[in-house]
Amino acid sequence: MTNEKCPLCGGRASKKMMNDENVKYVGMFFNCDVCGRYGLTADELEARTIDWDKLRIFLYYNGFRATEKNWPEYRYYSSLPKEKCDAYNLEFKKGINEHGCPVHMDKDTVDAWYPRSLSEKTDMILLKLDKIAEYIGQEVVFSRLELYGLMFVKRYKTEKDEFSEEEMDSQANFFIEYLKEAGYIKGGKISLDNTETYISITPKGYKQIDYLNRNSGDGRNVLVAMKFDAETVVLREAVKKGIIEAGYNPVLIDEVEHNNLITPELLSQIRNSRFVVVDLSHRNNGAYFEEGYAMGLGKPVIQLCKKGVNLHFDIAQINTIIWDKESDIPSRLKNRIMATID
Ligand SMILES: [Zn+2]
């Protein structure tokens, strides 16, 4: 590992080559304080397919950082193909951690996550602030680069040309000003005279966060509950595709976690979902549980099941997409989402 510049945020990062099992160079792995652990393929480094501004902000919000609390951390985002990431994860489960636990990301993943409106962005900033603060009312310190991630600051004018620090500061300050005027935060703006800034959430801000948490089903996240393993790879991709095509953001918990437990993280993902898509073809206990939990919260549920599988009685009452071939799923699921979720 060497000390270098993070290609995304410009901060300091350690870097090492990623090689495949034939020791052939396939890309670069970075560990950045701001963006966390991530790997980019040689192709992505050469010619971008992902919007790097969105990618940097995606990683700031979702990245895997090896902190004291999160140690050891084997997970990292990777633009390697999905199949490659799955294969490395399988190796990891067998105890070979040469390649760690890559979580696949690509243009679709980043675009689907990225907020589209100003109000979506300000909601996400507030929720992230709440997540970062260790106690209520804490004044959290942000370095300039962290602030650029938090405040959705664009760094690239074009692939080669970057905005000046002054221009990026004023982008960040727009959101600080906006949230201050709304009465949600207290804190200083960033300027060329300082390298960091302090932000804290006001009581009014906490009230808004409570409101957002209760109503976060208004967002675009959709939890997918199903059996995840090598045998369901085609199915999961089909389900993902249908959800993305309907304009929503699929959340597949195995891409975030690497154990099979029902965790607080999973429950909060269900609470934060607009609706839940469940495939019951493998009569997977976890999927039944997650469906029940979502229903208890009053979330809409869309069920899928492979033709010929007998469903549990209670569940069988619900309108279900019975599929024969995985290739039929994306368009049928998309249509069902458009027809039933407003
Ligand atoms: Zn970085």
177: containing domain: 118-214
Q: What's residue 97's pLDDT?
A: 86
The answer to whether residues 209 and 246 belong to one domain is no
* Residue after which a domain boundary falls, among 114, 149, 164: 114
Distance 17 CA to ligand 1 centre (A): 17
Q: What's residue 287's pLDDT?
A: 82
The answer to whether residues 73 and 38 belong to one domain is yes
The answer to whether residues 280 and 308 belong to one domain is yes
Report d(CA 291, CA 303) in Å as an integer: 9
The answer to whether residues 91 and 159 belong to one domain is no
The four Cα atoms 147, 152, 156, 158 give a dihedral, to 10 degrees, of -170
Residue given tokens 């950045």 in the structure block? 32
Report d(CA 191, CA 169) in Å as an integer: 6
The ranges of the chain with pLDDT < 50 are: 258-260
The answer to whether residues 175 and 230 belong to one domain is no
The answer to whether residues 137 and 47 belong to one domain is no
Report d(CA 269, CA 284) in Å as an integer: 19
Q: What's residue 311's pLDDT?
A: 78
Distance 13 CA to ligand 1 centre (A): 7
* Residue after which a domain boundary falls, among 214, 236, 259: 214
Distance 7 CA to ligand 1 centre (A): 7
The answer to whether residues 257 and 317 belong to one domain is yes
Distance 56 CA to ligand 1 centre (A): 7
The answer to whether residues 92 and 13 belong to one domain is yes
The answer to whether residues 296 and 232 belong to one domain is yes
Distance 97 CA to ligand 1 centre (A): 24
Distance 33 CA to ligand 1 centre (A): 7
Q: What's residue 215's pLDDT?
A: 66
CATH number at residue 233: 3.40.50.450
Question: Which amino acid, 300?
Answer: P
The answer to whether residues 174 and 85 belong to one domain is no
Distance 293 CA to ligand 1 centre (A): 37
The answer to whether residues 337 and 237 belong to one domain is yes
Percent of the chain with pLDDT over 70: 94
Diameter of the chain measured on Cα atoms = 68
What total number of domains does the chain contain?
3
Q: What's residue 259's pLDDT?
A: 47
CATH number at residue 156: 1.10.10.10
pTM for the whole structure: 0.76
Distance 316 CA to ligand 1 centre (A): 48
How many Cα atoms sit within 13 Å of 272 on the Cβ side?
18
Q: What's residue 1's pLDDT?
A: 57
The answer to whether residues 263 and 322 belong to one domain is yes
* Residue after which a domain boundary falls, among 61, 92, 114: 114
Distance 132 CA to ligand 1 centre (A): 18
Q: What's residue 3's pLDDT?
A: 75
